[in-house]
Structure 1
Amino acid sequence: MEQAKGNLMLLLTAFIWGSAFVAQAVGMDYVGPYTFSAVRNLIAILVLIPVVWAFGSPRGERSGLSFGQRLKPDPVTLKGGLWCGLFMSVASLLQQVGLQMTTAGKAGFITALYIILVPILGRFLGRPVRKILLLCVPMALVGFYLLCVKGDFTVSFGDFLIFLCAIFFAAQILTIDHFLLRGANSVKLAWVQFGVTFLVSAVLMGLFEQTTEGALWDARWALLYTGVISSGVAYTLQIVGQKYTEPTTATLIMSLESVFAALSGWLLLGETMSGKELTGCVLVFVAVLLAQIPLPVRKKGSSH
């Protein structure tokens, strides 16, 4: 029952993230990437305060705790939130800047490469790399080439930034798993990571961008959707869902983000892709799916 609940949370996460590419692209018409990131994460922090207050402590202990004690993270959760926030800050900012130079559909598929990068980066944490990745990685690279490389053999700088974003999202997923296994509180972990992302974005906003109240008002719907739904709801669903779902299934479900992103770009923004780009999308998505197939582990001493 808990696994089914976790799977449903992650499926909803993938849908929200995929559709949020459209909101992010629209929001960039009015404000800069650092401003957009800072405001959406500030909204997420405010949205999560009542959630952390209500569910961030064990049920039997809530009545005896003050408001501040209910919000305060334990040392493991604080450390995990700081690391997750650092990785998410870099990933989300790279994604937001990259969306100024590429389409929502392409950005969604390139971001989906984190599903393949998770087991590769996990190797550095002592996790074995399965042989199927010897097929998946070249397939994904060919798909990335068809999707992003133009006729003159150049890659869009926006596509490159989105690819870097996928690397940092993979690091964030591994960090979440690492600290949840060590007993971190999932809701407070999400709250701390939004706080870190807000601070990083706000500093960059103050250094490099100027924004008017009118521009923020024009971007209000995109900011509200990404702040309340994509950040406040979906990232929290990701962390809670990963608590109930083993990593292979979790990453497979979240890879559907790329499909929802392409569909949202087509339905809401009228984006189109050439046959070459569509072929690249198919290769990337097939590689993402194959990378998550659980293969039987050969027992020691077996000759088969």
Structure 2
Amino acid sequence: MKTRVDAIPMLALMCVTAIWGSTFFIIKGILTSIPTLDFLGVRFFIAGLVIIVLRGRKLLRASVTTWKRGLMAGVVFAVAQIVQTIGLETADASVSGFITGMYVILTPLLLFIAFRTPISKPVAFALVLAFTGLSILSLNGFSVGRGEGLTFISAVLFAVHIVLLDQWAGQESGLDLAAIQLIALGVICGVSALPGGVVLPSGINGWAVMIYMALIAGIVTVGLQTWAQSRIPATSAAVIMTTEPVFAAIFAILFGGEHLTWRLFAGGSLVVGAMLLAELAPRKSSTADGGVAVWEDSDSVS
């Protein structure tokens, strides 16, 4: 079980979350001309095709176990993306963001239920802070309907994806596992876009956005997340990933013409504080593994 965190994987996962955050105002623009399922289909089809070109021969030599695990993780992530997108058709974006962010709570619960993984007291408190911060950031009135229910299902699936990577990423080739996930994403999202025909981006700007979403926000993020989670406990990864709406707000303010509000400042501060608490509050151990400082959880809630 991974119980330590070092700086480089943590920064890598922060980069992943920052890239995801950068996509919100970009997607908002492109979805005015392309249906959501078509957008997902084209995006991940391109990503999967590039992966096949770059690593096709090496993937043929990957073990059956690696293929099974990569496909399973990819299917879970693809279904989560599709279910979340369908939920957004009837749920407010702010409410959807809050419900989706509940994977930060669901991840340690799933780990505890499935593997009896203990939750350290600092991380447990960080989860409460993150949950509170997400609610301030995203929630402004609440009603439960079909869209909200589907969004909650997607949050469960995102948590399952994090748990699967936590269990498998350290046992398999990170590149192969990430590549197979992207192929699964490309196939499933591509097929989901076929009914009624696929609408493609128009113009240089539309294709530039799609290429960015496929290569940077697709291949790079899945690869970095898979690698980082082979070195970071799943609960810590979930807390780091709660900074996604904070990065989304920063990019929206800098490039999307939005304004800083008290909700953004207060909620964002709690989320960032939760991340710092989860990563820095555990007792610092003596240097190990060649002098690299690591952090270890002490007291646990079990």
Q: Normalised by the size of structure 1, how large is the TM-score?
A: 0.74
2:252 corresponds to which residue? 265
> Paired residue for 2:224?
237
**Partner residue of 1:63?**
none
Identify if the C-alpha distance between structure 1 residues 193 and 116 changes in structure 2 by more than 3 Å, giving closer, same or farther.
same
Gaps of 5+ in 2: 284-296
Q: What is the CA deviation profile of residues 158-184 of structure 1, one whole-angstrom value per residue up to 9, with x for unaligned ones?
A: 676555433322211110121124x22
Alpha-carbon separation, structure 1, partners of 2:95 and 2:276: 18
1:43 aligns with 2:33: no
Structure 1 match to 2:55: 52
Report the CA distance shift for 1:159/1:33 in structure 2 as closer, same or farther (over 3 A): same
CA contact 1:148–1:155 (8 Å) conserved in 2: no
> Per the alignment, do residues 72 and 239 of structure 1 end up closer, same or farther by CA in structure 2, a change over 3 Å counting?
same
CA distance in structure 1 between the aligned counterparts of 2:54 and 2:24, rounded to whole angstroms? 25
C-alpha displacement of 1:267: 1.9
- Note the alpha carbon deviations across 1:141-168, whole angstroms, 9 max, x for none: 54454444445x5369767655543332
1:205 is aligned to 193
Identity within the alignment, % = 29
Deviations 1:6-49 (A, max 9, x none): 34432322221211222222221121121111111111112323
Structure 1 segments unaligned to the other structure (5+ residues): 54-66, 300-304
The 8 Å contact of residues 99 and 158 in structure 1, kept in 2 or not, is answered as yes
Which has the larger share of helix?
1
Partner of 1:210: helix, strand, or coil?
A: coil
Amino acid at match of 2:44: N
Q: Which residue of 1 aligns with 2:156?
A: 167
Q: CA RMSD in A?
A: 3.6
- 1:242 deviates by 2.3
Contact 1:77 1:184 in 2 (8 A): yes
Structure 1 residues 109 and 52: CA distance shift in structure 2, 3 A? farther
d(CA) in 2 for partners of 1:71 and 1:22? Answer: 38
Distance 1:272 1:164, change over 3 A: farther
Query: Structure 2 counterpart of 1:43, which letter?
Result: I
Aligned residues: 280
Secondary structure of 1:226's partner? helix
Equivalence for 2:172: 184
Aligned match of 1:302: none
Answer whether contact 1:24 1:96 (CA < 8 A) is retained: no
Q: 1:228/1:165 Cα in 2 relative to 1: closer, same or farther (>3 Å)?
A: same
Residues 253 and 73 (structure 1), Cα distance of their counterparts in 2 relative to 1, 3 Å cut = same
Partner Cα distance (1:136, 1:4) in 2 = 18
Partner residue, 2:30: 27
Contact 2:126 2:239 in 1 (8 A): no
For residues 85 and 122 of structure 2, what CA distance do their matches in structure 1 show?
A: 32
Equivalent residue, structure 1, for 2:64: 75
Residue 210 of structure 2 is matched in structure 1 by 223
